[in-house]
Structure 1
């Protein structure tokens, strides 16, 4: 589904921008929405992009805890910014968006890593999100 793919990519870009600027992702999202409304050359921010960013923002602390807990030998601060934000987006969608099949989430996040990150990143992203997928029933209860 191309629309969902684009929505995920834009959500990732918003999370990345917030991380790079040290800004709240909801503020960055609002900036993107405002900009898309005032500049007809910019595509609108989709509902699904907003849902992903807002969903992550509401669970950011928990998501970062999970990523830190299950990443082997990598702290959040040491991770490349791209990888960290792909993982954040993927963890949110994997654990809290039931409408998206887990395999789709993993594949989409690996594709983002292939497009935006290092050669090693797709395997890292796949491995960590795969671990969260295995533990999903217990993680959602916590």
Structure 2
């Protein structure tokens, strides 16, 4: 599975977990739709869940006039994935790739403002890390 696909599937699984409090293993199984599992997908989903208490404050401190609850579920979880990659996978994924991938995925799954919003917020997080 390509990393882009793993990120998209991770976004779908985290969305499910966020909205309906689904068990992570069930959410991953559901988004795979019978396909072969992927280590990077699992790493992203479980990593975001395990490190959420570290990731969310990094996002919150860079939100202007917004709260985590007001963010669209897609944007919130896409930011979590990207911040996880920036903070916990610096040797695996270059920062620019993390930002580019998040922006491209936002264009597909978010609204017309999502990609600019994601780019701005992740640029701030990247500078602080």
**Do these two structures clear the TM 0.5 threshold for a shared fold by scoring above it?**
yes
Q: 1:34 to 1:132 in 2, by over 3 A?
A: closer
Which digits, 9 at most, give the CA deviation of each residue in 1:83-102, with x for residues without a partner?
Answer: 00100111101111021000
2:116 aligned with 1:116: no
Q: 1:35 to 1:130 in 2, by over 3 A?
A: closer
Unaligned runs of 5+ in 1: 137-142
Q: Distance in 2 between matches of 1:122 and 1:92?
A: 18
> TM-score scaled to structure 1, two decimals?
0.83
Q: Which has the larger radius of gyration?
A: 1
> TM-score scaled to structure 2, two decimals?
0.91
Task: State the Cα distance separating 1:18 from its structure 2 match.
Answer: 0.6
Q: 1:36 to 1:114 in 2, by over 3 A?
A: closer
Give the match for residue 31 of structure 1: 26
**More RCO (CA 8 Å, sep 6+):** 2
Which digits, 9 at most, give the CA deviation of each residue in 1:76-120, with x for residues without a partner?
Answer: 000111100100111101111021000000011011110001111
Give the match for residue 129 of structure 1: 122
Contact 1:36 1:45 in 2 (8 A): no
Task: State the Cα distance separating 1:34 from its structure 2 match.
Answer: 4.9
Q: Which segments of structure 1 move beyond 2 Å, counting only runs of 4 or more?
A: 32-37
Aligned residues: 128
Task: State the Cα distance separating 1:58 from its structure 2 match.
Answer: 1.4
DSSP-derived class of the 2:61 partner: helix
Unaligned runs of 5+ in 2: none
Q: 1:3 to 1:64 in 2, by over 3 A?
A: same
Q: Distance in 2 between matches of 1:124 and 1:112?
A: 13
